[in-house]
Amino acid sequence: MKVAIVHDWFKDVGGAENVVSSLLTLYPDADFFALVDFFSDENRKKILEDKTSTYTFIQRLPLAKHFFQHYLFLFPWAIERLDIRDYDLIISSSHAVAKGVLTGPYQLHICYSHTPIRYAWDMYFDYKETHNIKGIREKVLSYILHKIRIWDSASSNRVDYFIANSSFVKKRIFKYYRRQSEIIAPPVDTNRFKLYTNKEEFYFTASRLVPYKKTKIIVDAFISNGKQLLVAGTGSELEEIKSIATDNITILGEISDSKMLHLMQRAKAFVFASQEDFGITPVEAMSCGTPVIAFFRGGCSDTIIENITGVFFKHQTPQAINESINKFEQMSFDYEHISNYASKFSKQNFEEKINTFVSKKYNEFIKQ
């Protein structure tokens, strides 16, 4: 069985790239394909074990290394030019266009969907706000994404089976593609985020500081409640958040992995206000035994058990967050139980579930 793994692009390391790393563990002889491959030597060793990928013409376009996403209008054409006809099994790791590769009737294509293209579908208006896109740029982008939506929907028919990373993404897949999917949560490094039970009197949040992450409403909540909050991350809202932060709020900016672990372990609770496809950081917090106060939408509705591993708020407002904090402070939590629960999202569990699913579907496919 020859295996091809198709990923959108290799540049930075995040949850999607950790999925690819696990796929390489399962299929060590697989070949890799992507729109572009701009991995640093460190990231290539960490994710691909020094393997290189076959990339598209996007890689060679002017300024592509830093601005390849500006060639969005070429992505469908580029991904369809990848020649993978010699492979028996194709696994696409897709949050953009990877699922659109061309396959034949004797090839099995399974897509692990991190999400349908968010900025083309339900998060289009958030994307415009985050990037301050107005005027003629907005009109051009609107037209391009209109075409992308048509292609994205049509290309979903090229996939034999979808795997969604959460029930939220499962709903998105059905909404935009009218396709059913299996839910398998992505791998989380639960071995690194170890249990720590000596919690301290501060709350913690960490994310990119951009509008759709809703960090500013968390800060607004703590401005009014006066409790201690530590904020990690950088982004377009950093200076604005710094300017409004009161003495009880510490803005840390970008922090190291070791510092992140230290704060995750010791925080009284991790606060998370974004609607994410899955949301890895809340699971990392729970791996440390730290309860999570989170918005009850997106992937968190899968990963957090209310009143057991955390507390939900139903609206993205400072008032709703403070109501949940007040509720949280009247409760007690079993930190060891929270950490044990989070272990179900481990890399090992992910690989076992993926291997079982793919093996079953491939065996059925070759018998047809």
Asked if the structure places residue 135 within a domain, the reply is yes
Let me know whether 139 and 260 are in one domain: no
Let me know whether 88 and 211 are in one domain: no
Domain of residue 235, CATH code:
3.40.50.2000
* For range 113-142, the mean pLDDT: 88
Cβ neighbours of residue 76 closer than 8 Å, sequence gap 6 or more: 97, 100, 148, 151, 155
Asked if the structure places residue 169 within a domain, the reply is yes
Let me know whether 280 and 353 are in one domain: no
Let me know whether 41 and 140 are in one domain: yes
Q: Please report, to the nearest 10 degrees, the dihedral formed by the alpha carbons of residues 161, 165, 167, 169 taken in order.
A: -80
Let me know whether 218 and 340 are in one domain: yes
In tens, the pLDDT along 52-104 reads: 999 999 999 999 999 999 999 999 999 999 999 999 999 999 999 999 999 99
For the chain, the C-alpha Rg in angstroms (whole number) is: 21
Let me know whether 27 and 58 are in one domain: yes
pTM of model > 0.95: no
Asked if the structure places residue 329 within a domain, the reply is yes
Total domains, the chain: 2
* For range 128-146, the mean pLDDT: 88
* For range 138-146, the mean pLDDT: 92
Q: How far is CA 161 from CA 22, 164, 290, 360, in A?
A: 19, 10, 36, 12
* For range 110-139, the mean pLDDT: 89
- Which residue spans within 2-69 are E strands per DSSP? 3-10, 31-37, 53-55
Let me know whether 357 and 239 are in one domain: no
In tens, the pLDDT along 249-263 reads: 999 999 999 999 999
Let me know whether 341 and 353 are in one domain: no
Asked if the structure places residue 195 within a domain, the reply is no
Let me know whether 336 and 353 are in one domain: no
Domain that holds residue 235: 203-345
Let me know whether 135 and 17 are in one domain: yes
The answer to whether residues 232 and 206 touch, using CB atoms and an 8 Å cutoff, is yes
Domain of residue 60, CATH code:
3.40.50
Asked if the structure places residue 322 within a domain, the reply is yes
The C-alpha atoms of residue 78 and residue 68 are separated, in whole angstroms, by 12
Asked if the structure places residue 198 within a domain, the reply is no
Asked if the structure places residue 141 within a domain, the reply is yes
In tens, the pLDDT along 152-187 reads: 999 999 999 999 999 999 999 999 999 999 999 999
Burial class (CB in 10 A: 0-12, 13-18, 19+), 309: buried
Residue-averaged pLDDT of the chain? 95
Let me know whether 164 and 257 are in one domain: no
Let me know whether 55 and 156 are in one domain: yes
pLDDT of residue 54: 97
Amino acid, single-letter form, for residue 341 = Y
Asked if the structure places residue 194 within a domain, the reply is no
